[in-house]
């Protein structure tokens, strides 16, 4: 089982966010992590575009890449 502390290790990394109910996925930067009522969440911001929001950690696939421009 993943804990909020383990999720915090991913802060600053990139992830692939899947939008529920669609085939849409896009690259985000992970800004923060939290445990909320037993659910683990990431606060994310898109690489291109604006805004930031919390999503379930299960919707974010952490990527192993360092620079998306490589």
Question: In this structure, is residue 18 part of a structural domain?
Answer: yes
Q: Please count the CA atoms within 13 angstroms of the CA of 51 that sit on its side-chain side.
A: 4
Question: In this structure, is residue 69 part of a structural domain?
Answer: no
Selected residue with higher pLDDT from 65 and 40: 40
The residue range of the domain holding 57 is 4-62
Question: In this structure, is residue 70 part of a structural domain?
Answer: no
Question: In this structure, is residue 33 part of a structural domain?
Answer: yes
**Number of domains the chain is built from:** 1
8/5 Cα distance (integer angstroms): 5
pLDDT of 61 over the 80 cut: yes
Sign of the Cα torsion 22, 28, 31, 34 reads positive
- Residue 51: give its domain's CATH number: 2.30.30
pLDDT of 2 over the 70 cut: no
Q: What is the pTM of this model?
A: 0.82
pLDDT of 66 over the 80 cut: no
């Amino acid at each position: 089982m993943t804990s909020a502390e383990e999720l915090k290790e991913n802060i600053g990394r990139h992830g692939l966010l899947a939008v529920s109910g669609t085939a849409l996925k896009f690259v985000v930067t992970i800004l923060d992590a939290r445990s909320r009522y037993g659910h683990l969440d990431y606060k994310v911001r898109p690489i291109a575009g604006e805004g930031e929001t919390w999503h379930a950690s299960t919707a974010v696939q952490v990527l192993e890449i360092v620079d998306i421009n490589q």
